[in-house]
Amino acid sequence: MIQEGYKARNLVERFFQKLKHYRRIATRYERLSKNYATMLSLVSTVIWLT
């Protein structure tokens, strides 16, 4: 049961590491939260497709 939690945590941590490769997300160029959320969705989709 504890091991399942570690697996989920590892998955989330690896996803955030992939997000950091996108400079626009890591440095938060977008000022408005709506625009930032849109870019986050777009990058997440790109990561999911690759």
Domain extent at residue 17: 2-49
pLDDT at 1: 66
For the whole model, what pTM was predicted? Answer: 0.72
Count up the domains in the chain and report the number: 1
Average pLDDT (15-21) is 92
- Whether 25 and 16 have beta carbons less than 8 Å apart is answered as no
**Token couple for 29:** 């160029």
Confidence of residue 29 (pLDDT cuts 50, 70, 90): confident
Query: Which amino acid is located at 26 in the chain?
Result: A
